[in-house]
Structure 1
């Protein structure tokens, strides 16, 4: 019979309770990623008035969490390839939750900025690792769908942040909006009991007993007698460095994915931070402007889910090109002062193809790197991409400070989509280097899937 690896056995598993719980845990964390990041855009008009902030100052303050995410992705995200994904995810979730709650006690922009930076640092370490963990442990046939369902919770969290702001701001204050983040702390005992470790990490460290236990959690009764355990260990013992992200045919693909990430994040955070203020400048009141942000993120949720479904059928590259193209069209059209019905339709489409695309591009990056370096690869994509995220709020603040027509504001946010299309098209399939042969093994395993389960 054909020899297999632990990864191929895990990838060939049918959907089980283990995968549903894993999806629930990672989705919960992603929900609060969306809430904690987008809540700033919801309270921004109030903060600008209370602290007398100029638009460019507010833009830089909005980038504090994103600078933190870049730092966290570099230092904490890559750390997981050395100490494991589980401790980084769990401890990072604890710390970003505490930092988010403390933000509600801020008495001025300086304290606010420091705590937003701290929130971003721990989010930046957590998010690439839950993406990598989901990509590694999900069944091969459901990998893209499960990853994008998880990532779509970012948009659900964004919607929640806006709805909470609409409800709480008139009754209490912007401080209370941040206190809601403390709900995430209540789920930590469940996360600590259920969050698994990376299979690749366990096998690379020679922890065969723990790896077997993990596989049986996902695939009870699996026959592991023909599994080869040494290959994963030998691959894992090699140091994963940033330079390795450019080896084996990835010299062009890695920087192109970085550019696509950055352009996507520029549009995402630029719109989520400044859309309410742009709409207020266009003549709408605060309430309706916040509702437009809800519409944008409803579209984002639908786009993320649709993108995962389409990615499993047509490939993430084609989906990304199509979504970025539609993002450009919808954003340019938004600047033409459309009628109310068309305005909301365009906001739905813009949300689906900007924020929604973020879920697809994470899967695209995770597929590009082998498991041994996946956390480092996705972490660096996220880190470099944060340069675009940082630029988004700053760009929006400067555009509003210049008092440009609304048409030019939306065109400025549409332009990065064109660059992202070019970058995605230039990402070439990397060469196989021994750690990337899992797909053939999964195909062979699928043929004997029924007999293996018995």
Structure 2
């Protein structure tokens, strides 16, 4: 029996329509994820007025989806290593679509909180697995760019949510913005039929017939013969509990530093997306202008994600991240000084690009750091630990608003995580892990 490394075949394959189908669906899911998460920032000023919310309560509601994302990343991320990337991604998409649509029917803070929590659980399980499946299925020369291309659609969804808040809420009320997000549920049948399963998972489960069919699509030039048996490279670790593998074989310090990097960038991203319109409104800008600033921030997010994908291919993920964190800190700290409109818009584009661009690259760093058999677990746990920072963003923003800090100081405080993140990634060192062929049992 001839052993063939499936990962090598995928690495050397030219980009074709089957890769593009995978990327298309991942981008669609990411678009709705961005919309689902950021829509709260557009709704918040209206919700605070209609429900008479305190800043602390508003911050807690904003943190609900991020608490759910932490739970989803841990539980459903690990489940993907057992039940398959495809099944978990689609199940999570169904959950988040239904939950966010139900948000539009909420009439009290408790129901609203529960719906946001469930939305977050679905998103938390989906996003890390989108990164993982592209990491495992994309050609090596295109991998980082495709991952960042997909993650850029978070910004597309965020922009759409901002525009919805600007144009639809005054005409139809805030509820309609949540109902729009439920549209994704109608795409599930087509998605399930055309979305491929991960090669690594199929090999792990000894589903060789499906491996052959998938490889024929991803690398048509490869000729399969009956005596071929496909394997993937993975660590020689014998750990039966995947999470234990995150701290063995010299990975413990790297794992903790990655977690720190995730937490800091997510604090900046979700803190700004939740509170930017309200903070700018309190600072003297009109509500319409404040929501427009949110759109501008996420235009930067799209541009930055694409640029940072190219930079990661040229400079490496570590150097790109250090640059991104420092640029985030510098641009955010300048937002509170009432610069001219053009300069303010430029700063928002830079801040959005640097924060979300860094968030996309750190997913790639985590996927590179962990071996195949614990990759979903590693990326998902990193994203889950990062949610502590994400949860802190809305809560901290509410606290800052409640204590009435000077306008400039609010943004200086939001910039500090960028410096901490740069330090964490600067200390990160990736070590080579001994790899051996991973064959399915049975």
Q: Same fold (TM over 0.5)?
A: yes
Deviation at 1:258, TM superposition (A): 0.2
Instruction: Report how far residue 433 of structure 1 moved.
Output: 2.0
Contact kept, 8 Å, 1:267 with 1:414, in 2: the verdict is yes
**Relative to structure 2, which stretch is displaced further, 190-199 or 294-303?**
190-199
Q: Which residue does the alignment assign to 1:280?
A: 281
Q: CA deviation at 1:239?
A: 2.7
**Map of 1:438-449 to 2, 5 A cutoff?**
none
- How far apart, CA to CA, are the structure 2 residues paired with 1:231 and 1:94? 30
5 Å-filtered alignment, 1:119-268, equals: 119-225=119-225, 229=230, 239-268=240-269
> How many angstroms apart in 2 are the aligned matches of 1:358 and 1:155?
12
SS at structure 2 position matched to 1:215: helix
Map 1:3-402 to 2 at 5 A. Answer: 4-225=4-225, 229=230, 239-402=240-403
Helix, strand or coil for the counterpart of 1:229?
A: strand
C-alpha RMSD of the superposition: 1.8
- Report the TM-score when normalising by structure 2: 0.95
Matches of 1:80 and 1:58, distance apart in 2: 33
Does the Cα contact within 8 Å between 1:206 and 1:233 map onto a contact in 2? no
Structure 1 spans left out of the alignment, 5+ residues? 438-454
Q: With structure 1 as the length reference, what TM-score do the two structures score?
A: 0.93
3-state SS, counterpart of residue 222 of structure 1: coil
Structure 1 pair 49–118 and aligned structure 2 pair: CA distance change class (3 A): same
CA contact (8 A) 2:324 2:355 kept: yes
Aligned counterpart, 1:411? 412
Structure 1 position 186, deviation (Å): 2.1
Q: How far off its partner does 1:249 sit?
A: 2.0
Contact 2:6 2:231 survives alignment (8 Å): no
Alpha-carbon distance between aligned partners in 2 of 1:48 and 1:201, rounded to the nearest angstrom: 46
Distance 1:381 1:234, change over 3 A: closer
> What is the rounded CA distance, in whole Å, between the counterparts of 1:107 and 1:402 in structure 2?
28
Deviations 1:218-244 (CA, angstroms, capped at 9, x unpaired): 111413458653566997996342110
Alpha-carbon separation, structure 2, partners of 1:234 and 1:262: 27
Alignment-derived partner of residue 440 in structure 1: none
Change (3 A) 1:379 1:234: closer
C-alpha distance after superposition, 1:202-259 (max 9, x if no partner): 1111111111111111111413458653566997996342110122221110000000
8 Å contact kept, 2:264–2:421: yes
Asked whether the 8 Å contact 1:240–1:376 carries over to 2, the reply is: no
C-alpha distance in 2, partners of 1:25/1:236? 33
**Shift of residue 297, structure 1, vs aligned partner:** 0.4
State the shift of 1:431 in Å.
2.8
Deviates more, 1:228-237 or 1:69-78: 228-237
CA contact (8 A) 2:144 2:312 kept: yes
C-alpha contact 2:239 2:245 (8 A) present in aligned 1: no
How many residues are matched?
A: 436
Maintained 8 Å contact 1:72/1:125: yes
CA–CA distance in structure 1, aligned partners of residues 130 and 235 of structure 2: 24
In structure 2, do the counterparts of structure 1 residues 250 and 237 end up closer, same or farther at CA, with 3 Å as the change threshold? closer
Give the 3-state SS of the residue equivalent to 1:187 in structure 2: helix
Using the TM superposition, give the Cα deviation of residue 283 of structure 1 relative to its aligned residue in structure 2, in angstroms: 0.5
Deviation (angstroms), 1:358: 1.2
Indicate conservation of the 8 Å contact 1:204/1:235, yes or no: no
> CA distance change for structure 1 residues 338 and 85 in 2, over 3 Å: closer, same or farther?
same
Distance 2:436 2:46 in 1: 51
Change (3 A) 1:306 1:232: closer
Distance 2:86 2:247 in 1: 26
Q: Please give the per-residue CA displacement for 1:85-137, whole angstroms capped at 9, x wherever unaligned.
A: 11111111111101110110001111000010011111111111111001110
**Counterpart contact for 2:366–2:379, Cα < 8 Å:** yes
Aligned CA distance change for structure 1 residues 16 and 238 (closer, same or farther; 3 Å): farther
Contact 1:205/1:237 (8 A) holds in 2: no
